[in-house]
Structure 1
Amino acid sequence: MKSLRLLPVATVAALAIVVALPVAFVLLQAVFPHLARGSFTAPFSAVRSTLSHGDTLPLVANTLRLGVSVALGTALVGGALGAVRGLFHVPGARFWDLCFLLPFLVPPYLAALGWMLLLQTGGYAQQLTGLDAGRFLFSLPGLVFVMTLNIFPVVYFAVSRALTTTGSRLADVARVHGATAWRAFARVTLPLALPAFAASLLLAFTMAIEEFGAPAALGARAGFSVLVTSIEGRFADWPIDLPGASILSVVLAALALFAFVLQHRLAAGKDFETQTGKPIASPPRDLGRWKAPAVIGFGLVTLVATLAPLLSILATAFSGTLSGGLTLANLTTAHFTALLGQGAEGLQALVTSLSLALGTSLATGVLGFLCAWCVVKSTMRARVLIDGLSLLPHALPGIVVGVGLILAWNLPFWPVTPYDTWGILLLSYSCLLLPYPVRYTSAALRQVAASLEAAARVHGAPTGVVLRRITLPLVMPALGASLMIVFAIASRELVTSLLLAPSGVQTVSIFVWRQFEQGSIGQGMAMGVVSMAVSGTLLMLASHLGGKRGSAG
């Protein structure tokens, strides 16, 4: 019983360090502008000056414009394709699903750099076709175009799965009773899929306003600044503005939290539901004369969203020089040789990223398992607090977590601090990625019968032994799949790495970003290829484990 009482205390303490502390210090710094000097004087004095500054309102407006524009773009692309995929028999449907998963393997900042190499003046598109799309790319429409192609799979998979579940059977019933095809779709099919569609659009909005790489790479050249790039600039440019960065972080977090809460309300609300008992299989309809246009549409989106940036990245990674163009004479593997050579800077960055990703997986795995068990299997009072803290990072922009960790640990009164060590990166990754193991493990724990743990306790097993010998093995497939996702994402995280990396320490994302800034684009793209190969392998393993778990269930 003693271990049972200590478990929530230890879990809450760990969550306080990983999650609550950085959030609290962002709020404290926003309220007390002189906090970094150990003073609580002049509370709220920086709030008015920052919010009334001439740049603040345009930053907020630009952030909202970007988020709304990307959400609308994903609605058009992902919503239309998802509806066709969910309601009709599309030739090669599984192949198209795989193609639309590939953009998730390309980090957004790497995709943006790939589009720059493709569409800028003198880029691959101009070399091959004479098309110079540089003016379009470095503009708000160009930024929205690139981010939409990176985010639209969120809407595509949400809509297609929702419509696949509801099928067209109920709409067929409506048509039997005299409804036209459009009326049946508008009054039956669409309302059933609307919660998932709306929630996915809000998620796309949140992802757009939190993204740093694409706005920094493309928006900066167009003179289009958003909150996330401005916050990073207040730390990177002298004089450093801690209160201003904190206040803008609170504004950005408020926008993301509002969208996150609204998304969950829509996803949880069931204004429309079926009352037909056990679901009946409803095969998708045949496209008929629309089959060819549908396949062409899926193929065009695959070409633009998936193949174009990937080919641009691969072409640069295997080209000797950019000026040499796309010729066989310019083909080389020298960038990979230089990247992975013994003692090379790129190899060190890769080892650092993989080590941090492994540490993050282990840390979030242990903490995520404990959080999930406390919430799902216990009746302790602290479970509501644990549930809230463990899922809060899912709604926090990475830039806010980075700002909070700087403010929390760069203070003189700490006897020991992870600041300016690799430990601060481990904390940031763990905070951002904790929700993955919590969600996966919680879902698995709900399928584990309570009688198993009760039987072990009746036979005298303490709580620690029950968790280690019974509960953990049962949820290990789901937990392992989530940790592979954590590893893949942690190995390429950009914004907190740029903010928090100690001097002399480089990760994969920092290496790629700095190589591009310094003009060594080939090595940067080679590192991107290696990173995507590692991430893709791990995500396929995670999918395989998830599939085995589903078939076993």
Structure 2
Amino acid sequence: MNSLRGLSTASVAALAVVVALPVAFVLLQAVFPHLAQGSFAEPFAAVWPTLSHDDTLPLVTNTLGLGLAVAFGTALVGGALGAIRGLFHVPGARLWDLCFLLPFLVPPYLAALGWMLLLQTGGYAQQLTGMDAGAFLFSLPGLVFVMTLNIFPVVYFAVSRALATTGSRLADVARIHGASAWRAFARVTLPLALPAFAASLLLAFTMAIEEFGAPAALGARAGFTVLVTAIEGRFADWPIDLPGASILSVVLAVLALLAFVLQHRLAAGKDFETQTGKPVASPPRTLGPWKAPVIVGFAGVALLATVAPLFSILATALSGTLSGGLSLANLTTAHFTALLGQGAEGLEALVTSLSLALGTSLVTGVLGFLCAWCVVKSTMRARVLIDGLSLLPHALPGIVVGVGLILAWNLPFWPVTPYNTWGILLLSYSCLLLPYPVRYTSAALRQMATSLEAAARVHGAPTGVVLRRITLPLVMPALGASLMIVFAIASRELVTSLLLAPSGVQTVSIFVWRQFEQGSIGQGMAMGVVSMAVSGTLLLLASRLGGRRESAA
């Protein structure tokens, strides 16, 4: 009992530092505008001036409009392709899956910069085809286009896997009983996939409203500002407006939370169970005369979502100068040589990002495993609190977490503070990415028989030994998969890195962003190529090692 109480106390304390503290200070700073000076005077004095400012309502409407437009775009692209992938035999299906998975390795801000180089006036598209799409790119439709291509795989994989699981056998039964093809799809197939579809659209919406790189790179030139860029501006531009940034952060967090509430309300009572007796394989249907159009559609999306931005990134990294254009005479590896040279700041940034990503994986792995076990396997009273705190960051935009950490740790009364050290970045990444190991591990724990742990305790094993020798090995495949996602996202995170990185510390994302600001575009893109190659290689090795361990077991 003492060990259980100790695990509960340790989990709550860790969650209080990683999650609750930054959220609490965002709320406190929004209420008490002089909190940074150690004063609780004039509560709520900054709320109405900030909310009633001429810029606030356009910021909110722009953010909502962008999120809804991107969610609609991902529903069209990801939903349509996912339905075809899940229900029909698509030639080269695994190749298309790989092509649509690659955008996850391309940081959104890097993809946006790649599209700038491709479509702007004098860009690669104009050099190759004569097409000048700069006016389209630097507009709201152009921003939605770029963000949709970066986010749609979330919907594609959710819908395709959900439909592949249910198959088309039940819809075939409806067809036999007289239903039309469209009616069978709408009344049978679609409801079965609706929970996964709704959840993926919610994720697409929240990813869109919290994304910083694409709106900052493309929206700024179109005069289109959103909450996340406005919050960053209140920290970056003098005079610094801490109360205003906090209030806008609360507004952004409320939008994300409302989206979660709406999704749960819409999905309530919409779960379906199938009673089909003995499982029967449901092979995907053939496309028939639609085979060629489907292949063209998949190839077109893969060309836009994967090939085009990667081509632009690689071409820039291998070009001596942008003005030299696409020519053999302009081909060079000088940017890579300068980037990886001994003592170069680019190499230091790469090592820093990989180290932080590895540290984040370790922290979230340990904390996520303990939180998931406390929630799923224990009967302790604190499990509801642990569950809520561990999943809260899933609804918090990164900019909100960054603001909260600045407000929480940049105060004079702390005897020791991680602020202005690399530790503040580790805290921010851990807060943002904790829900991944918690969700994956919780799902694995719910599938594990309780008798295994009970048998170990009957034979005298303490709780720590049971967790280390029995529970952890059984959930390691799911936990390992979540930590690979954590590593990939942490190695490319931008917005909290820009807010929190101390002087002299650069991550890959900061290095690339600043190279663009300083005009060293080739070296920034070279860093992007190296970072994606290293991260992809490490993830592949980790995946293969995990596969070998599973087969050996």
Change (3 A) 1:538 1:484: farther
Length-normalised TM-score, structure 1? 0.97
Instruction: Tell me, yes or no, if the aligned pair for 1:340 and 1:347 is still in contact at 8 Å.
Output: yes
> In 2, distance between residues paired with 1:371 and 1:322?
50
- More displaced, 286-295 or 169-178? 169-178
CA RMSD of aligned residues (A): 1.8
> In 1, distance between residues paired with 2:172 and 2:455?
50
Unaligned runs of 5+ in 1: none
Output one character per residue of 1:132-157: Cα deviation in whole Å (capped at 9) or x when no partner: 11111000000000000001111111
Instruction: Tell me, yes or no, if the aligned pair for 2:477 and 2:550 is still in contact at 8 Å.
Output: no
Offset of residue 228 of structure 1: 0.3
Length-normalised TM-score, structure 2? 0.97
SS at match of 1:201: helix
Change (3 A) 1:463 1:200: same
Instruction: Tell me, yes or no, if the aligned pair for 1:231 and 1:399 is still in contact at 8 Å.
Output: yes
> In 2, distance between residues paired with 1:426 and 1:258?
28
> In 2, distance between residues paired with 1:123 and 1:272?
50
> In 2, distance between residues paired with 1:3 and 1:499?
39
Q: Which residue of 1 aligns with 2:260?
A: 260
Offset of residue 267 of structure 1: 5.5
Output one character per residue of 1:196-225: Cα deviation in whole Å (capped at 9) or x when no partner: 222222211111001000000000010000
Change (3 A) 1:268 1:376: farther
Instruction: Tell me, yes or no, if the aligned pair for 1:489 and 1:535 is still in contact at 8 Å.
Output: no
Q: Which residue of 2 aligns with 1:471?
A: 471
Identity of aligned residues (%): 90
> In 2, distance between residues paired with 1:313 and 1:388?
40
Query: How many aligned positions are there?
Result: 553
Offset of residue 511 of structure 1: 0.1
- More displaced, 302-311 or 432-441? 432-441
Output one character per residue of 1:42-66: Cα deviation in whole Å (capped at 9) or x when no partner: 1111111111100000000000110
> In 2, distance between residues paired with 1:379 and 1:148?
43
> In 1, distance between residues paired with 2:255 and 2:510?
27
What are the equivalent positions in structure 2 for 1:224-239 lying under 5 Å apart?
224-239=224-239
Instruction: Tell me, yes or no, if the aligned pair for 1:195 and 1:269 is still in contact at 8 Å.
Output: no
> In 1, distance between residues paired with 2:163 and 2:455?
42
Change (3 A) 1:42 1:188: same
Instruction: Tell me, yes or no, if the aligned pair for 1:488 and 1:538 is still in contact at 8 Å.
Output: no
Q: Which residue of 2 aligns with 1:432?
A: 432
> In 1, distance between residues paired with 2:504 and 2:199?
42
> In 2, distance between residues paired with 1:534 and 1:488?
10
Offset of residue 260 of structure 1: 2.4
SS at match of 1:89: coil
Offset of residue 480 of structure 1: 2.4
- More displaced, 245-254 or 459-468? 459-468
> In 2, distance between residues paired with 1:383 and 1:408?
25
Change (3 A) 1:551 1:53: farther
SS at match of 1:286: coil
SS at match of 1:419: coil
Instruction: Tell me, yes or no, if the aligned pair for 1:200 and 1:263 is still in contact at 8 Å.
Output: no
Change (3 A) 1:154 1:497: same
Change (3 A) 1:89 1:223: same
Change (3 A) 1:8 1:307: same
- More displaced, 55-64 or 278-287? 278-287
Offset of residue 268 of structure 1: 6.4
- More displaced, 168-177 or 143-152? 168-177
Q: Which residue of 1 aligns with 2:186?
A: 186
1:332 to 2:332 alignment: yes
> In 2, distance between residues paired with 1:226 and 1:95?
36
> In 1, distance between residues paired with 2:180 and 2:139?
43
> In 2, distance between residues paired with 1:412 and 1:229?
28
> In 2, distance between residues paired with 1:290 and 1:394?
39
> In 1, distance between residues paired with 2:550 and 2:165?
17
- More displaced, 246-255 or 326-335? 326-335
- More displaced, 497-506 or 157-166? 157-166
> In 2, distance between residues paired with 1:461 and 1:272?
41
Output one character per residue of 1:461-513: Cα deviation in whole Å (capped at 9) or x when no partner: 22222222222233223222322221221111100000000011111000000
> In 1, distance between residues paired with 2:147 and 2:368?
30
Instruction: Tell me, yes or no, if the aligned pair for 1:120 and 1:133 is still in contact at 8 Å.
Output: yes
Offset of residue 116 of structure 1: 0.4
Q: Which residue of 2 aligns with 1:26?
A: 26
SS at match of 2:221: coil
- More displaced, 248-257 or 358-367? 358-367
Output one character per residue of 1:150-196: Cα deviation in whole Å (capped at 9) or x when no partner: 01111111221222222221221122122222222222222222232
Change (3 A) 1:407 1:415: same
Instruction: Tell me, yes or no, if the aligned pair for 1:171 and 1:184 is still in contact at 8 Å.
Output: yes
Offset of residue 226 of structure 1: 0.1
Q: Which residue of 1 aligns with 2:374?
A: 374
Q: Which residue of 2 aligns with 1:271?
A: 271
> In 2, distance between residues paired with 1:279 and 1:333?
56
Instruction: Tell me, yes or no, if the aligned pair for 2:88 and 2:284 is still in contact at 8 Å.
Output: yes
Offset of residue 271 of structure 1: 4.4
Change (3 A) 1:186 1:288: same
> In 2, distance between residues paired with 1:471 and 1:118?
50
